[in-house]
Amino acid sequence: MYMKIKKGDKVKVISGKDKGKSGVVLRALPREHKVIVEGVALYKRSLKGIAGKVGRIVERSRAIHVSNVALISSEKKLKSALDAPARGGSASGRK
């Protein structure tokens, strides 16, 4: 399965509860068509204490679907599809 978004790419969330947030892809899951983005889709997980250590609560990122993120160009600081100018009409001039 091919995905354009790879580990280390900078992406912006375009839909869902974290819409507008951006972050770096920590892990790509091509078979599931999902990515794990740093600081996006966080949930709390409680860890049990082991051998005298105290348990704690940690925040982790959930995997989100690739269609919910857009790749941000790191070279020119431009968003790929998000910064495209809106077309007012068709190329033929019809309305």
Each residue's pLDDT tens digit, 32-70: 999 999 999 999 999 998 888 899 999 999 999 999 999
Each domain of the chain, given as residue ranges in start order, spans: 10-71
Residue written as token pair 């690739």: 66
- 10-71 topology per CATH: SH3 type barrels. (2.30.30)
pTM over 0.75: no
Each residue's pLDDT tens digit, 68-87: 999 997 665 555 555 555 55
Distance of alpha carbon 6 from alpha carbon 11, whole angstroms? 10
